[in-house]
Amino acid sequence: MEKQITAVIVGAGNRADVYSKLALNYPEKLKIVGIVDPDTVRTKIMAEKYGVSEENCFKSVEEFVKHDKMADAVINGTMDHLHVETSIPVLKKGYDLLLEKPFAVNEDELRKLVKVANEEKRKVLICHVLRYTPFYSAIKKHVLNGEIGDIISIEMCEHVSYHHMAVSYVRGKWASEKECHAPMLLAKCCHDIDLMMWMMKGTNPKSVVSFGDDFQFVPSKKPEGAGTRCMKDCPHMEDCRYSAYSHYILKPKRWWQYTWKCLEGEENVTLERQKESMATDNPYGRCVWDCERDGNVDHQSVIVNFENGATGTFNLVGGAAEAERNIHIVGTHGEIKGTFEKSKYIVRRIKPGSENDYVEDEYDLNITGDMTGAHGGHGGGDLRLAADFVDYLNGNEPSISCTEINDSTVSHLVVFAADRSRRNGTIEKINL
């Protein structure tokens, strides 16, 4: 019988909660035994949810590591810029680590954390959850089986829905590099660049070029006469596509983990209290054209040149009507083309002389549930990743989706180089 893995949550936010739910669904696999977070309200909520005693709740990593080692691992869900400084002490204490992406916000931090993880001989998995979805893992198996031959080109795109863009990257905590210390390509799309590197595993990225800007959310695009807060002084409240009233009052549960965080300490919150919050001090009630984005992008294109001569392209577009990730891989023997949200893809194989000069098979994985991450699902990837982490710590052979820290380093370095290219107008070499 396999050992039950024990873990401590560091950063009691939404992402750590999502992975920790494995302990509720499969208590024989995982048990949460500690919480580390300076927010006492969040700590109390998580402690009650996972049955953690008050004596095992800590306000800081510094306080936590003074305690005797109390678990097998740490689940680190802190903000992006805190990942390295909160991970190094727990690695040195002897904990293995499940770490949210991006695991570092610059190259110096990245190399520092990788060095410590390797020196301490700790197991560190990075939460690139899309690798674990049935959609992308199925496509990876076709690639590994050689069904389309050698990859010539990968074309990928992510269309971020207008309401996701607003809640996370305009009004939310990932809007500004001053606050989260990460540009949008790193914060949102290191998932996607990781998928590209994963599909191309066996050849390294050589160079990258990138272009992007903030097209839509600059002050000059603000509608005439618009106010500073949607529900306080704006005549466009009912018809604006970014109205806080439409996004968060009419649909209060869609992004609740972000929009109502400021009301977490209150009991029996009414609709009127929510409206008052949006009209006064709730950051999600601000006009999107008044939010400080610090030069962050709402669209960006990336072209990667690989050492074997193949290329990969990725397009990020924020503000789309519908959230959608597409992938099109062209190889020497065929191609794979699919849409993540529809959980469908086609495999075409070149066959000269046939009716269409190719044959194809269509796959419908029939996946239901949250495909966007709005409710912590990511197309089935979240809990599969957590389960793989537990298996990994138990000494089992990791799955093909396993994203160990040394593997994840490649995609992070590509993202860092792509953003340098965007800012400087240069072609950047990838130094692995």
DSSP output for 167-206: IIIISSTTS-HHHHS--HHHHHHHHHHHHHHHHTTTS-EE
pLDDT attached to residue 295: 84
Sign for the CA dihedral angle at 32, 33, 37, 38 comes to: positive
Q: Of 15-19, 144-148, 292-296, 347-351, which gets the smallest average pLDDT?
A: 292-296
Taking CA 23 as the corner, what is the angle to CA 22 and CA 29, rounded to the nearest 5 degrees? 90
pLDDT attached to residue 340: 94
Q: What is the chain's Cα-based Rg?
A: 22
Please, are residues 199 and 328 in contact by the beta-carbon 8 Å criterion? Answer: no
pLDDT attached to residue 372: 45
pLDDT attached to residue 305: 99
How is residue 165 written in tokens?
A: 């863009």
Q: Of 75-89, 130-144, 168-182, which gets the smallest average pLDDT?
A: 168-182
Provide the CATH number for the domain formed by 5-122 in this structure: 3.40.50.720
SS (H, E, C) 31-81: EEEEEECCCHHHHHHHHHHHCCCHHHEECCHHHHHHCCCCCCEEEECCCHH
Could you tell me which residues are beta bridge partners of residue 210?
A: 302
Distance of alpha carbon 136 from alpha carbon 339, whole angstroms: 10
Q: Do domains 5-122 and 130-217+294-377+403-429 have the same CATH topology?
A: no
> What SS3 state is found at 339?
strand
Could you tell me which residues are beta bridge partners of residue 428?
A: 208
CATH class, 130-217+294-377+403-429 region: alpha beta
pTM confidence score: 0.92
pLDDT attached to residue 62: 98
Contacting residues for 109 by C-beta, under 8 A, at least 6 apart: 84
SS (H, E, C) 237-281: CCCCCCCHHHHHHCCCCCCHHHHCHHHCCCCCCCHHHHHHHHHCC
Please, are residues 377 and 369 in contact by the beta-carbon 8 Å criterion? Answer: yes
Please, are residues 59 and 34 in contact by the beta-carbon 8 Å criterion? Answer: no
Residue type at 282 in one-letter notation: N
Ordered by start, the domain boundaries in the chain are 5-122, 130-217+294-377+403-429, 233-288
- Percent of the chain whose pLDDT exceeds 70: 97
Residue 373 — pLDDT band, cuts 50, 70, 90?
Answer: very low
Distance of alpha carbon 65 from alpha carbon 271, whole angstroms: 42
Which carries the bigger pLDDT value, residue 177 or residue 26?
26
From residue 391, how far is each of 125, 237, 324 by CA, in Å? 12, 50, 31
- Percent of the chain whose pLDDT exceeds 90: 90
Please, are residues 195 and 136 in contact by the beta-carbon 8 Å criterion? Answer: yes
pLDDT attached to residue 375: 43
Residue 244 — pLDDT band, cuts 50, 70, 90?
Answer: very high
pLDDT attached to residue 368: 62
Helices (H) and strands (E) in the chain, counts: 16, 15
Sign for the CA dihedral angle at 408, 411, 414, 419 comes to: negative
Distance of alpha carbon 180 from alpha carbon 13, whole angstroms: 15
Residue 1 — pLDDT band, cuts 50, 70, 90?
Answer: low
Answer yes or no: is pLDDT of 377 > 60. no
